[in-house]
C-alpha cells in the first residue's frame, strides 16, 4: 500500500479541510475496505481539494472518479456496502445531493430495518453545506433538516479541525449510514490536531459539547454557525454578559443533555442555524427543552436562522445568514421577560 511522502505526525496546526484530508488518509490506511467515490475526487482532489493526493497514493481502485450522477454514486455505494466495503461518497455541493435523495431516503436509510438487521450499510456521504462563500442556490444550501427527519440515518457536522479529523474516521467506522455535513465556509479555519492520538480516545461521535462556559444565557449552534457564536460571546462579554455555548456536533441523534443542564442554570436559550426557520433543527431543540426544562426557563426559546425563502443571490447572503447582531438581539430578547 502506498504511503504519503513525509507523513505528518504529532500535534499540527491544520485547517479543517486539511484535517478532513488527513482523516480520510488515515481511514484508507487503516482499512482496505474503505473506498472514496465522487465527482472529481481523484486526480483533481475534489472541488475543495479535500481528497487531494489520495488517488495518487492509494490508486484508482480505492479513490474513484464517478460520472456526474449523484443517484448512481449512492446506489453504487449501497451495493458495495452490501458486499463488505465502506464507501465514502462526496457530493460536490449541498444542492447536488438532492438528485440522490431517493437512494438515500428510500434505500440507504431503510435497508437495515427492511432486512430485520441482517444487512448493515456503512456508507458515509460527505456534503459541503451552508452559505458564506459568495455562491448561489444549489451551492449554499442547508439540507440538514431533510436528513435529520429520515429515520435510519445518522447526521453529524464538525466545527473544528480536531473534530473534522476524528469525526470523519468515526463516521467511516460506524456500521450505520452517516450524513457527514462539512461547513465549507470554514474549511480554512485552523486548529491544533494531535495526529498520533487514537481515534478511540476522541470525543464520541454522537455527543454534543459545551465549548464555552457561561452563566447568563445558553446559545446553541453547530457546524458553520459556531464562529458567529464565539464572536457573539466575546461581544457580550464586553457588555458584562456571560454566554454559555454548546456545539451540537450530532444532529441525529440529538444529544441534548448538555443543553438541558445549561438551560437549567441560565434559564435562557437561543438556537442558531443557517437552515430556514420553519420546522428546522431549532424547532426540535426548543420543543424538547421546553418539555425538559419548563420550570427553569425565564423566557421563550429564541431562534436565529436563515429565512424561509430560497437561498438568495450572493450579494444578499450576508442579510440571510445569522450574524453577530441577530444573535445578540435574540439574547437581549430573552432578558426582556
Active site residues: 139
Taking a C-beta distance cutoff of 8 angstroms, is the pair 96, 136 a contact? no
Strand 302-306 with 243-247, pairing:
unpaired
Pair 148, 155: CB distance under 8 Å: yes
CB-facing half-sphere around the CA of 8: CA atoms within 13 A: 17
Neighbours of 93 (CB within 10 A): 18
> What is the rounded distance in angstroms from the CA atom of residue 280 to the CA atom of residue 305?
9
Q: Which residues are 247's β-sheet partners?
A: 209, 221
State the residue for C-alpha cell 489520495: 54
Instruction: Using only the alpha carbons of the chain, give its radius of gyration.
Output: 20
Helix 324-334 vs helix 226-238: crossing angle, to nearest 10? 60
Return the C-alpha cell found at 13. 496546526
Residue 119 CB neighbour total at 10 angstroms: 13
Pairing of strands 34-38, 190-194: unpaired
Amino acid at each position: 500500500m502506498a504511503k504519503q511522502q513525509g507523513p505528518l505526525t504529532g500535534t499540527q496546526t491544520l485547517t479543517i479541510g486539511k484535517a478532513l484530508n488527513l482523516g480520510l488518509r488515515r481511514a484508507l490506511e487503516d482499512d482496505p475496505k474503505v473506498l472514496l467515490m465522487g465527482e472529481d475526487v481523484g486526480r483533481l482532489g475534489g472541488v475543495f481539494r479535500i481528497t487531494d493526493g489520495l488517488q495518487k497514493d492509494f490508486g484508482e481502485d480505492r479513490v474513484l472518479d464517478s460520472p456526474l450522477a449523484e443517484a448512481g454514486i449512492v446506489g453504487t455505494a449501497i451495493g458495495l456496502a452490501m458486499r463488505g466495503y465502506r464507501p465514502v461518497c462526496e457530493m460536490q455541493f449541498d444542492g447536488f445531493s438532492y438528485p440522490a435523495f431517493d437512494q438515500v431516503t428510500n434505500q440507504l436509510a431503510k435497508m437495515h430495518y427492511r432486512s430485520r438487521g441482517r444487512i448493515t450499510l456503512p456508507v458515509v456521504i460527505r456534503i459541503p453545506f451552508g452559505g458564506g462563500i459568495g455562491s448561489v442556490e444549489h451551492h449554499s444550501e442547508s439540507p440538514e433538516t431533510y436528513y435529520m427527519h429520515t429515520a435510519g440515518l445518522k447526521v453529524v457536522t464538525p466545527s473544528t479541525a480536531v473534530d473534522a479529523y476524528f469525526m470523519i474516521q468515526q463516521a467511516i467506522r460506524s456500521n450505520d449510514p452517516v450524513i457527514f455535513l462539512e461547513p465549507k465556509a470554514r474549511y480554512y479555519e485552523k486548529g491544533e490536531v494531535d495526529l498520533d492520538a487514537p481515534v478511540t480516545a476522541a470525543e464520541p461521535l454522537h455527543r454534543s459539547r459545551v465549548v464555552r462556559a457561561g452563566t447568563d444565557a445558553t446559545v446553541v449552534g453547530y457546524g458553520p454557525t459556531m464562529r458567529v457564536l464565539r464572536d457573539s460571546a466575546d461581544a457580550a462579554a464586553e457588555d458584562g454578559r456571560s454566554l454559555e455555548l454548546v456545539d451540537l456536533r450530532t444532529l441525529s441523534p440529538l444529544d441534548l443533555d448538555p443543553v438541558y443542564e445549561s438551560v437549567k442554570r441560565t434559564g435562557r436559550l437561543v438556537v442558531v442555524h443557517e437552515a430556514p426557520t420553519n420546522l428546522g433543527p431549532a424547532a426540535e431543540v426548543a420543543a424538547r427543552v421546553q418539555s425538559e426544562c419548563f420550570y427553569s426557563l425565564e423566557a421563550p426559546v429564541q431562534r436565529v436562522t436563515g429565512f424561509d425563502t430560497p437561498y438568495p443571490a450572493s450579494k444578499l447572503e450576508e442579510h440571510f445568514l445569522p450574524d453577530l447582531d441577530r444573535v445578540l438581539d435574540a439574547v437581549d430578547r430573552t432578558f426582556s421577560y
